[in-house]
Amino acid sequence: MHALVVTAVAAEADSVAAGLKRLTAPAPHPDGPVTPTRTLPGGYAIGRHDVPGLAVDVLVAGVGPAAAAAATATALAVAAPGTYRLVVSAGIGGGFPPAAPVGSLVVADALVAADLGAQTPEGFLTVEQLGFGRAVHLPPADLAARAAEATGALLAPVLTVSTVTGSASRAAELAAAHPLAGAEAMEGFGVAEAAAAHGLPVLELRAVSNAVGPRDRSAWRIGEALEALAEGFHRLVPVLRGGDLHG
């Protein structure tokens, strides 16, 4: 099994790598030997991590859905055909209280482009409602459920936004439009678009660093979220190693 994990920033990539390193008795994957971090066209950093039965390439893509889509598409395009079987969007994000408190994990059962569309006098219309494309990607349902169970995560939609929520009114607006949402972040949908273009399934795992709502940096717990992300990947490995991507 060979997976591509896409993060926004180096700190998230380091947490993913730390979680993988917690596994005992690392061994080369049959796809090939471990390679050091390398730079892809466009300047994207990608590092290889092998554990028994699983190879993981961790990509630092940049912040936002456009950067995530561009970097993911680049990594998939330059890889040998058939290299990857799964793409995972991973990082920290905001959680919708009370379902996703700070320090918890959310696995997406839907990756939703929450602000891709148009404002109208009648309210917001998604890009799907406008007839211009899609606003939701679905991971394999059984795989997402097993990932949530293994990591102790909430299984819920994760919203992709281009602007992080910073007010109570915007948080309420998103919650009303997506009442089951567990988290918001900035990259998942972009990663999913690139994965879909290459015919690959996608997962999203988010560690909650702050509550979705009024912007209060003093209440953010980024270190706690990064540690949760590392532990989440440690627990996710057996699911990925199983290799059953149907669902």
User: Which residues, 6+ apart, have CB-to-CB distance to 245 below 8 Å?
Assistant: 85, 86, 140, 143, 201
Domains along the sequence of the chain with CATH: 2-242 (3.40.50.1580)
> What's the whole-number mean pLDDT along residues 145-162?
97
24 against 125, higher pLDDT: 125
Task: Give the closest residue to 45 by CA, choosing from 55, 60, 34.
Answer: 60
Tens of pLDDT, residue by residue over 66-122, are 999 999 999 999 999 999 999 999 999 999 999 999 999 999 999 999 998 898 888
pLDDT surpassing 80 at residue 24: no
Is 153 in contact with 207 (CB distance < 8 Å)?
Answer: no
Can you give the pLDDT at residue 161?
96
Can you give the pLDDT at residue 244?
60
Can you give the pLDDT at residue 25?
44
Task: Give residue 34's pLDDT band: very low, low, confident or very high (50, 70, 90).
Answer: very low
